[in-house]
Amino acid sequence: MKERVRLGVNIDHVATIRNARGGVHPDPVRAAKLAAKAGADGITAHLREDRRHISDADIERLSDEIDLPLNLEMAATVEMLQIALRHRPHAACVVPEKRQELTTEGGLDVVAERAKLIPLVAELSGAGIRVALFIDPEARQIEAARAVGAPVVELHTGSYCEASAAARARELARLRRAAALTRTLGLECHAGHGLSFETAGPVAALPEVVELNIGHFLVGEAIFGGLESAIRRMRAVIDEARADSRGERPA
């Protein structure tokens, strides 16, 4: 099989469970090490402004203790920029953040936030951090991402994953068009949010997609069959979908 789609495992919700009791168990760093063993290509963690799951100490330990590339999800704030510059993760994915939301509900409005994003992207890139902007699969947002200097976009797959069976094909078509545009504009294309064993395959089959970031579903599945097994199965779903789309057998 040619280049496989990279799987970034988001460990935020291991920290959510830990924080429910305020102790140290379950440890997101242990989950990250297990993810590496199970076939993850990277670890993703979102340090939210309200620290509701991942903590500053988790980012410190992830930076020190894991061998896989770390993808720090962050809001476009001065505080997060300083933290990113201090830790210098492999990548930073800039996401919109609202205090009251349960999760990252929509993509960044790069068109409206252009003036704020240009210096942020420049500072992160200048520090050697690969910057992605998390956006809805819309042409104007992709064009704006390129205009502010981001080398990568992560397409928000939430609408596709939450769509009814009838609407899902339409949402996948939006993702397909958006992914194709990223290639035309010379951007690297990632995707994530809400992906499951059922929904990850069709996104992995889009030829421009090089990385998927998946968290909540994997941590949920871990309750029933263990984290390692959930990640291994996701790895297989992704590899099979990509190989099928190319008429190959998975490696």
Backbone phi and psi for residue 88, each to the nearest 5 degrees, phi listed first: 45, 65
Residue 161 CA: distances (Å) to CA of 12, 22, 164, 203 = 19, 31, 9, 10
Active site residue 156: no
Interactions with ligand PXP, residue window 11-70 (CB under 6 A): 12, 46
42 pairs with which residues across the strands? 8
Instruction: Give the angle subtended at the CA of 192 by the CAs of 188 and 198, to the nearest 5°.
Output: 125
Residue 173 contacts residue 149 (beta carbons within 8 Å): no
The residue among 1 and 102 lying less far from ligand PXP, judged by its C-beta, is 102
Tell me the window of 111-119, 163-171, 212-220, 224-232 that interacts with ligand PXP (CB under 6 A).
Answer: 212-220
Alpha-carbon radius of gyration of the chain: 17
Active site residue 90: no
Give CA 144 to chain center in angstroms.
Answer: 19
Selected from 26, 39, 42, 192, the binder of ligand PXP by CB under 6 A is 192
Note whether 221 binds ligand PXP by CB under 6 A: no
Selected from 26, 62, 215, 221, the binder of ligand PXP by CB under 6 A is 215
Tell me the window of 83-91, 116-124, 173-181, 211-219 that interacts with ligand PXP (CB under 6 A).
Answer: 211-219
Interactions with ligand PXP, residue window 72-101 (CB under 6 A): 73, 93, 95
Tell me the window of 27-35, 57-65, 111-119, 215-223 that interacts with ligand PXP (CB under 6 A).
Answer: 215-223
The DSSP symbol for 182 reads H
Cα–Cα distance, 42 to 20 (Å, whole number): 26
Note whether 134 binds ligand PXP by CB under 6 A: yes
Sign of CA dihedral 124, 188, 175, 245: negative
Active site residue 193: yes
Which of the following is catalytic: 87, 193, 208, 221? 193
> Binding-site residue total for ligand PXP (CB under 6 A)?
19
Residues that are catalytic: 46, 73, 193
